[in-house]
Chains A and B, each alone.
Chain A
């Protein structure tokens, strides 16, 4: 499960602890260490903080402290904010992976910022910086022009044109897939990424930043709790207000990486959240009678049913746990 760290574009000046603070980075380290224990790869995406102190803390964290895990850390930078000063900081702190975020600014401004990228890459051929880009998926011709701008700037040729976590919201007439509403399937962004806002609160997804649903807090919840509580909301995905205005519905798939531990915690949470019976969480389907005083037929029947359940369990574990005993 990937981790997405949001920023707070309009700092509220409150005293709430921030993710990019002493305590916040320590909590992130614990979360990342826990997620990395089963060696399932995952990535970390962090929006560039607006506040100067937090920005420096984020660069230090991404460049040094938050590197020891089976995946990559990406810093998401709105393209116009990529100034020469920021380049210098990125190089200094050895933040390698940068995703440029097209913000809907006029193409002229984006072109100018992208020229800085080109100039920096030309000036420092040994730079380890690697740029990707998320160009918002829009209807209209600007989209194509925008993508071409990024390609010409020397950004990775695999410019993603449908970023699921662009920060703007738009009204859209797209229909929510029925399987989302029935809770049988879930939004892949919700299921495959843990979204944490600037204050450590876990959100449904980046579009729900500032919304009313809080799924836990990085500072006060254990990693297990963060994932399990997230699972409890599985049934509601598709019905939240953030879902109603999401213009990415059913038009993208966030990469999914299987982790047995994460899957089981989500399933447990989903069961608690009232989803259809999860046979791995409910015990009432299992007979609790004293078999030593049951008749022969009852014993035989229970043993046969037990054997079937054992096989079903073993089969279900093969996909989730391909290397058992590790």
Chain B
């Protein structure tokens, strides 16, 4: 059973159709949990009949009156489903509610809440043509805080794993513990997104006995004000609510105006590997480079000149398709054509994705001389006889590695030494060394931090300037909430500047491979930032729930995190007046899978992919 339908019971007037609407669901994937919350005798009598049935799918409890929020908490603590579906005791579900909710949950597994639509019925069950009084649209944010908390209502499906990351159902005791539904939306949204499902799955009964009738508009507004104020405090946002009626506006203040880099905690995810990547052609294509396909058949070979042949492994990019299976053979040839070393690797079928085939070579002596790589393909019997490789500007897309025990740890030590050189204390540096994804390591690292600013740093980075100071100053003065410097490669060329999204929604940098001649030494608002060095205000993490650990390895989870932050109204700055050096030890090749997930999650919000427009009174780019 994946869905736990939970109903606190207080009134028996319409409890029978409420229960029967659950029994008549088209999907069987539910359990029903009911708690008698010290209500009327009729409701107790109905529940006793349900309890007598003794069916394992339907469970009943009886408690003293504890208020709606506590009753919901009671049920959620005892239910078992992966998803929670609250149902009020006088409302009914449409027959396909569970089925449709589960279908939506399968399409959007990242959701914290899936909210659908409702219609209205009267006391006799007849449809009431009434306009919905709450908006049904994406929620709005300013400076990280929601401005329209009333933009929610039943029905909604809560993912239990998201619920478990919050403080759970809570209400206001002076409002009979109501406000719990609006509150849970605010809390869940801090850990996972709210997604909309444009289908009617709930019938809300208009009747004079509803608890919400007792509150009245004044009390409702007071409740919303308290909820946003409580959320601001919980997240730690430097905001003060400016008005009393929604949409709320907020004044921002700067509580850390005198902060220095001593106010920054550094989080470095570290993944040890005993190999060094060698420079070769293009590390990765920029936005405007489109790889060409090269067909490799059994009748011919492909050759690539390597400026240095002291490689222990070459990863060759191939297009893996369902039909192709075979063996990719590689030889390193000297200038006389003699074979210096050879390697083979299997090519396995896959569903039309780019894969890196790893070719391990046995080094025979030092080969720090130019060699030629020759590739041939031997297909398995019965398979298509060609393999497609990629090339950019006549260079094969490959990555070259040399074994160097202790290399990655040496990179880390270089990173740490550069931090210390720039005055960062050891107790502000948190290295997370676990064999898990970068997202998981960063989230764990954040949990170890306490300072008001957190800087995520890759272990193959070296600070060559006071980048931390400059980024911090930019956050304080803009003001902004996330910032990244200009990133250079080991040869001093641009690796990442002023990032943007291309037409295919791919995150790309400007200036890749260009000399660092000052053309990108400006500051601007940008739509995404890399975590090579990413300085954030602590509350950004609290408001977004951190990095999505469903991304494999170490690609796209940073872009996803920044989009979550922007969705909440946080501001991202590219600070080209600061620079770091990145030695680029990428360790996985799961870009295709991660990018597919990213597109599925975000492509419905095209505004987030546009070039960021300048704000009133601020320049788009400030040159120094």
The answer to whether A22 touches B351 (Cβ under 8 A) is yes
Contact residues in B for A138 (Cβ distance below 8 Å)? none
The answer to whether B103 touches A222 (Cβ under 8 A) is yes
With most chain A CB atoms within 10 A of its CB, the pick from B1, B17, B384 is B17
The answer to whether A264 touches B207 (Cβ under 8 A) is no
A129 to chain B, nearest CB (A): 15
Whether a CB of chain A sits under 8 angstroms from the CB of B501 is no
Contact residues in B for A97 (Cβ distance below 8 Å)? none
The answer to whether A283 touches B40 (Cβ under 8 A) is no
Whether a CB of chain B sits under 8 angstroms from the CB of A250 is no
Whether a CB of chain A sits under 8 angstroms from the CB of B367 is no
B327 to chain A, nearest CB (A): 15
Q: List residues of B (1-31) whose CB comes within 8 Å of A's CBs.
A: 1, 11-14, 16-17, 20-21, 23-29, 31
The answer to whether A261 touches B27 (Cβ under 8 A) is yes
Interface readout for A295-325 with B: 1 if CB under 8 Å, 0 if not? 0000100110011011101100100110011
Kindly identify which residue among B46, B207, B381, B383 contacts A290, using a CB–CB cutoff of 8 Å: B207
Contact residues in B for A85 (Cβ distance below 8 Å)? 382
Whether a CB of chain A sits under 8 angstroms from the CB of B606 is no
Kindly identify which residue among B28, B102, B106 contacts A264, using a CB–CB cutoff of 8 Å: B28
The answer for the CA separation of A222 and B92 in the assembled complex, in Å, is 24
The answer for the CA separation of A310 and B58 in the assembled complex, in Å, is 11
Contact residues in A for B57 (Cβ distance below 8 Å)? 324-325
The answer to whether A299 touches B42 (Cβ under 8 A) is yes
B49 to chain A, nearest CB (A): 5
The verdict on A286 contacting B322 (CB below 8 Å), with A89-B382, A222-B103, A324-B55 known, is no
The answer for the CA separation of A88 and B209 in the assembled complex, in Å, is 74
Whether a CB of chain B sits under 8 angstroms from the CB of A185 is no
The answer to whether B323 touches A264 (Cβ under 8 A) is no
Contact residues in B for A267 (Cβ distance below 8 Å)? 26
At the interface with chain B, which of A1-9, A53-61, A142-150?
A53-61
The answer to whether B16 touches A306 (Cβ under 8 A) is yes
Whether a CB of chain B sits under 8 angstroms from the CB of A130 is no
The verdict on A53 contacting B323 (CB below 8 Å), with A224-B27, A313-B23 known, is yes
Which residue on chain A has the smallest CB distance to residue B49?
A307
The answer to whether A281 touches B42 (Cβ under 8 A) is no
B421 to chain A, nearest CB (A): 51
The answer to whether B380 touches A92 (Cβ under 8 A) is yes
Prevailing SS type, chain B contact patch = loop
Whether a CB of chain A sits under 8 angstroms from the CB of B285 is no
The answer for the CA separation of A254 and B99 in the assembled complex, in Å, is 27
The verdict on A60 contacting B349 (CB below 8 Å), with A283-B21, A288-B14, A324-B57 known, is yes
Kindly identify which residue among A38, A290, A307, A317 contacts B14, using a CB–CB cutoff of 8 Å: A290
A156 to chain B, nearest CB (A): 26
The answer to whether A281 touches B207 (Cβ under 8 A) is no
Q: List residues of B (567-587) whose CB comes within 8 Å of A's CBs.
A: none
Q: List residues of B (89-120) whose CB comes within 8 Å of A's CBs.
A: 92, 95-96, 99-100, 102-103, 106-107
The answer for the CA separation of A293 and B322 in the assembled complex, in Å, is 67
Contact residues in A for B381 (Cβ distance below 8 Å)? 88, 92
Whether a CB of chain B sits under 8 angstroms from the CB of A228 is yes
Whether a CB of chain A sits under 8 angstroms from the CB of B217 is no
Contact residues in B for A181 (Cβ distance below 8 Å)? none
Contact residues in A for B99 (Cβ distance below 8 Å)? 224, 228, 265, 268
The answer to whether A292 touches B13 (Cβ under 8 A) is yes
The answer to whether A292 touches B17 (Cβ under 8 A) is no
Contact residues in A for B55 (Cβ distance below 8 Å)? 314, 317, 324
The answer to whether A291 touches B12 (Cβ under 8 A) is yes
The answer to whether A224 touches B103 (Cβ under 8 A) is yes
Interface readout for A33-73 with B: 1 if CB under 8 Å, 0 if not? 01000100000000000000100110011001000000000
The answer to whether B125 touches A288 (Cβ under 8 A) is yes
Q: List residues of B (395-429) whose CB comes within 8 Å of A's CBs.
A: none
The answer for the CA separation of A228 and B29 in the assembled complex, in Å, is 15
Whether a CB of chain B sits under 8 angstroms from the CB of A251 is no
Whether a CB of chain A sits under 8 angstroms from the CB of B514 is no
Kindly identify which residue among B11, B21, B323 contacts A292, using a CB–CB cutoff of 8 Å: B11
Whether a CB of chain B sits under 8 angstroms from the CB of A180 is no
Interface readout for A203-216 with B: 1 if CB under 8 Å, 0 if not? 00000000000000
Q: List residues of A (257-275) whose CB comes within 8 Å of B's CBs.
A: 260-261, 264-265, 267-268
Whether a CB of chain B sits under 8 angstroms from the CB of A173 is no
The answer to whether B13 touches A22 (Cβ under 8 A) is no
Whether a CB of chain A sits under 8 angstroms from the CB of B161 is no
Whether a CB of chain B sits under 8 angstroms from the CB of A25 is yes
Contact residues in B for A292 (Cβ distance below 8 Å)? 11-13, 40, 42, 209
Kindly identify which residue among A38, A57, A225, A313 contacts B323, using a CB–CB cutoff of 8 Å: A57
Contact residues in A for B29 (Cβ distance below 8 Å)? 261
A252 to chain B, nearest CB (A): 29
The answer for the CA separation of A307 and B52 in the assembled complex, in Å, is 9
Which residue on chain B has the smallest CB distance to residue A302?
B16
The answer for the CA separation of A303 and B106 in the assembled complex, in Å, is 38
The answer for the CA separation of A194 and B42 in the assembled complex, in Å, is 46
The answer to whether B26 touches A228 (Cβ under 8 A) is yes
User: Can you identify 9 A-B contacts, CB atoms within 8 angstroms?
Assistant: A26-B351, A61-B322, A222-B106, A281-B26, A281-B95, A293-B13, A306-B16, A307-B49, A325-B1
9 closest residue pairs by CB, A with B: A288-B125, A325-B56, A268-B26, A292-B13, A290-B13, A324-B56, A260-B28, A222-B103, A22-B351
Contacts A61-B322, A268-B95 known; 18 new A-B pairs at CB < 8 A: A26-B351, A38-B28, A56-B382, A222-B106, A222-B107, A224-B100, A224-B102, A225-B103, A260-B28, A265-B27, A283-B20, A291-B14, A291-B16, A293-B13, A299-B42, A303-B45, A306-B46, A311-B53
